Amino acid sequence: MKSSVIVFPGSNCDRDIASALEKMQFKNRMVWHKETSLPKSDLIVIPGGFSYGDYLRSGAIAGKSLIVEEVVKAANSGCLLLGICNGFQILTETGLLKGTLLRNKNLKFINRNVHIKVLNNKTKFSSKYESNQILKMNIAHNEGNYFTSKEHLDELKKNNLIAFKYCDSAGDVTDQSNPNGSIENIAGIYNDKKNILGMMPHPERMVDKMISNTDGVNLFSSLLN
């Protein structure tokens, strides 16, 4: 399986995601933002970081860059696309995913391990997880407070497009277990066709027991299926 990781000036989780993909036997390529064409890929990843310094608004400038036009084309023709953290913010800026990511409710950067629940395990990104499986993943962001319109929220629920929700260790979705104020504890969503996933937690940080745990492994192995 071929993957491409898009590197913007200011991306800083690019090496981490590349290592995770290679560990999972993806044939990965790094694509610099000034390139105008994409190598043939089955999966495109937009990594975390502070693309263009997050100036103007997180993900806003990256969302208008040349390579992103190519990413949009590829995604619209069905290529799998994963946006993690700043990558999720960029995807909402491009309109590939609806909604927006506001500043965390406590107005502070948050880095810690949180629990999330797999709401839909019938997608190309999640088929190796159990339904309602509870995962422990690391979050590291300033703007992870997902917000969207009532109509879109209904649509997300109706079509089973909510990928993950923040929860406690027992799997209960509560206010206390919501780290950043996201609407209905949403931690990640799909587009209608479920070929695009945007998520705030970092699965690439959860593929090595020495460092954390291996709760992110099945996301990548689902994609290999």
Partner 1 sequence: MKISDTIIENHGLKKEEYKNIQKILKRDPNILELGVFSAMWNEHCSYKSSRIHLKKLPTKGKQVIQGPGENAGVIDIGDDDAIVFKIESHNHPSYIEPYQGAATGVGGILRDVFTMGARPIALLNSIHFGSPTHPKTKSLLNGVVSGIGGYGNCIGIPTVAGETKFNSTYNENILVNAMAVGHAKKTKIFYSKAKGINKSVVYVGSKTGRDGIHGASMASAEFDENSEEKKPTVQVGDPFTEKLLLEACLELMKDESIISIQDMGAAGLTSSSVEMASKGSLGIELELDKVPCREENMTPYEMMLSESQERMLIILEDGKENHAKKIFKKWDLDFVVIGKTTNTNNLTLKYYNKIVGEIPINALASNAPVYDRKWIKKKIPQNKIDIKKLKKTNLKEALKKILSSPNHSNKSWVTDQYDQMVMCDTAQKSGSDAAIIRIHNKDKAIAVSVDSSANYCKSHPLTGGKQIVCENWRNLISVGAKPLAITNCLNFGNPENKEIMGEFAECIEGIKEACEFLEYPVVSGNVSFYNGTNKKNIYPTPVIGGVGLINKLEKPLNHNFKREKSIIILIGKTFGHLEQSCFLKENYSISEGSPPEVNLLNEKNNGKIVLKLINKNFVLSAHDVSSGGLITTLSEMTINSNLGVKIEKPRKLRNLFEYFFGEDQSRYVLEIDPKNIIQVEEILKNGNIYFEKIGFTQKNFFEIEDEMKMSINELFEINNEWYNSY
Q: Which residues are catalytic?
A: 85, 202, 204
Q: Rounded to an integer, what is the distance from CA 24 to the centroid of its chain? A: 17
Residue whose entry in the numeric block shows the structure tokens 């695009």? 196
Q: How are beta strands 43-46 and 2-7 bridged, if at all?
A: parallel
Give the residue with the Cβ less far from partner 1, 14 or 93: 14
Distance CA 86, CA 142 (A): 10
Minimum gap (Å) between residue 203 Cβ and partner 1:
11
Residue 204 engages partner 1 in binding (rule: CB under 8 A): yes
Q: Single out the residue of 191, 194, 207 nearest to residue 21, CA to CA.
A: 207
Buried/exposed 104-114: b ≥16 CB within 10 Å, e otherwise: beeeeebeeeb
Q: Which residues contact 62 (CB under 8 A, 6 or more apart)?
A: 8, 33, 46, 51, 52, 68, 86, 90, 93
Binding string, residues 11-50; x marks residues near partner 1 by CB under 8 A: -xx-xx--xx-------------x-------------xxx
Minimum gap (Å) between residue 15 Cβ and partner 1:
7
Stretch that binds partner 1, among 62-70, 117-125, 136-144, 157-165 (CB under 8 A): 136-144
Minimum gap (Å) between residue 135 Cβ and partner 1:
15
Which structure tokens are listed for 90? 């960029």
Q: Which of 208, 213, 217, 222 binds partner 1 (CB under 8 A)?
A: 208
Minimum gap (Å) between residue 22 Cβ and partner 1:
11
Residue 55 engages partner 1 in binding (rule: CB under 8 A): yes
Q: Which of 2, 27, 40, 109 binds partner 1 (CB under 8 A)?
A: 109
